[in-house]
Amino acid sequence: MAVLKRVDSSPLLLSSNNVFPKEYDVVVVGGGIVGMATAREILLRHPQLKMAVLEKERDLSYHQTGHNSGVIHAGIYYKPGTLKAKLCVEGLNLTYKYCDKHNIPYKKCGKLIVATDPVEEKRLNDLYERGKKNNVKDLEMISAEKIKEIEPHCLGTRGLWSPHTGIVDWAEVTRSYGKDFVEKGGNIHLNFEVTSFKATAESSPAAEGDGNKYPVSVLGRGGSVKACYVLTCGGLQSDRLAQMSGGTVDPKIIPFRGEYLLLSPQKQHMIKGNIYPWRSICLETCNRFQIRAFLSLVYISLLEWMGVFGLAQMLFLPSNERDMAREYVGIIPSIYIFCRGPAGVRAQAMDSSGTLVDDFVFEIGDKGIGKRILHCRNAPSPGATSSLAIAKMIADKAEKEFQLK
């Protein structure tokens, strides 16, 4: 699954002709799933544009995109009416269509959220109502018997069953977006860490950077390119990238670490799909080939639902592997053998009052080259599931800001 492996370098992804031009109409900084999906979307809409993606690592998907739970979320938790809820539900459908069309393996194994007492049952019911408001397809409250039918080793008094939740390798999906982009003539510059944006030497200050066709110099450790317009999708670094073109300090990106535990191979047969004990942890089958199971904290996706207090409980209750395992042995008693798995770091935006920012944040300057650089400063999770829907929204924004024809 995405979280468990690094993608290998693939020369295929680098460039359509392996000769890198130095001048582009639009440059996208960040080769995670959001940057790559957006670059692809813009190029599909405007095939005449010369475009590049600049990525500081030696491959795409090196950060959040390659270190996540690999879940195709159905959109149950998010506050009804929010963009996050809308884009997730839309993104799930687009993801399945995209994977079918491009032969990317996935498993629509469903997701079971399990309650074990009346208090949890009540919360589960509230969650069900929320999911219905979000138009999550075929969501169902189920009995203890039905839980057994779906997951024979799982104990619970009531369950919430989401049959369309799935798993996929998000790094592979991103690689495929990259392939589409390169096939359409885009270039991907790896090992290119952007360090600053400057007005190109030729551009006239009097013309506020409009003195030539490529007024923005994008400088980096991997060299430099010139661009007419720049879009940044830098994940954990998105606040720093924004500040490089004079952007505000807020919102800052706070890294949240999520840890995984792996089920031992002897126990993997006991889990068919994604199982989430109501309280704090999730058990998910992963790796579409080996059905490897892992456990993860799902604190951010539950944050909106449970509030900060609930989050604090969840973060501090399962403070180590043993506690996490104990939480979850409550619903699948005979599973007890775990080993430490991988970890991922989530980019969470926070404003100066300490409030976590839960919506998309875009920033563009009002003078000089700043007018030509659009920063996506927050693309809230589940950004992978929503990536194709997010890409459409960012491409609309870029078309408007950059007047792309």
Ligand X SMILES: Cc1cc2nc3c(=O)[nH]c(=O)nc-3n(C[C@H](O)[C@H](O)[C@H](O)COP(=O)(O)OP(=O)(O)OC[C@H]3O[C@@H](n4cnc5c(N)ncnc54)[C@H](O)[C@@H]3O)c2cc1C
What is the residue type of 9?
A: S
**CB 184 within 8 Å of CB 178:** no
Among 111, 135, 51, 126, residue whose Cα is nearest residue 306? 126
Closer residue to ligand X, CB minimum distance, 317 or 345? 345
Nearer to ligand X, 33 or 99 (CB): 33
Q: How far is CA 245 from the centre of its chain?
A: 24
Site string for ligand X, 364-383 (x = CB under 6 A): ---------------x-xxx
Applying CB under 6 A, among 26, 27, 29, 113 the residue interacting with ligand X is: 29
Tokens of 346: 């989530």
Preceding amide of 333 cis, omega within 30: no
Q: Helix (H, G, I), strand (E, B), or coil: what is residue 189?
A: strand
Q: Which is nearer to ligand X, 29 or 124 (CB)?
A: 29
Query: At closest approach, how far in Å is the CB of 229 from ligand X?
Result: 16
Which helix (H) or strand (E) element contains residue 255? Answer: strand 252-263
According to the binding rule CB under 6 A, does residue 33 interact with ligand X?
Answer: yes
Q: Does 235 bind ligand X (CB under 6 A)?
A: yes
Query: Is residue 237 within the footprint of ligand X (CB under 6 A)?
Result: yes
**x-or-dash string of contact with ligand X, 176-215, rule CB under 6 A:** -----------------xx---------------------
- Return d(Cα 311, Cα 323) in angstroms, integer: 16
Out of 13, 26, 35, 142, the only residue in the binding site for ligand X (CB under 6 A) is 35
| 3-class state of residue 282 by DSSP | strand
64 near ligand X, judged by CB under 6 A: yes
Distance CA 137, CA 156 (A): 23
Q: Which of 5, 23, 57, 321: binder of ligand X (CB under 6 A)?
A: 57
| Contact region with ligand X (CB under 6 A), list: 59-67, 116-124, 311-319, 364-372 | 59-67
32 binds ligand X (CB under 6 A): yes
75, 131, 234, 251: which one contacts ligand X (CB under 6 A)? Answer: 234
Within 154-298, residue ranges assigned H as helices are 170-183, 238-244
Among 13, 28, 34, 154, binds ligand X (CB under 6 A): 34
Task: Please tell me the count of residues contacting ligand X according to CB under 6 A.
Answer: 39
> What is the rounded distance in angstroms from the CA atom of residue 178 to the CA atom of residue 175?
5
Give least dist CB 204 to ligand X, A: 28
- Binding residue for ligand X, selected from 345, 365, 397, 401, defined by CB under 6 A: 345
Closest approach, Cβ 3 to ligand X, in A, equals 7
Q: Which stretch binds ligand X (CB under 6 A): 68-76, 138-146, 246-254, 315-323?
A: 68-76
Q: How far apart are CA 218 and CA 196, in angstroms?
A: 6
Query: Which one among 110, 247, 251, 258 touches ligand X, defined by CB under 6 A?
Result: 258
Respond yes or no on whether the N-terminal peptide bond of residue 21 is cis (omega within 30° of 0).
Answer: no
Judged by phi (left if over 0) then psi (alpha if -120 to 50, else beta), residue 301 lies in: alpha
d(CA 174, CA 3): 13
Is the distance from CB of 27 to CB of 220 less than 8 angstroms? Answer: no
For binding to ligand X (CB under 6 A), which residues are involved? 29-35, 54-57, 62-65, 67-71, 73, 193-194, 233-237, 241, 258, 344-346, 379, 381-385
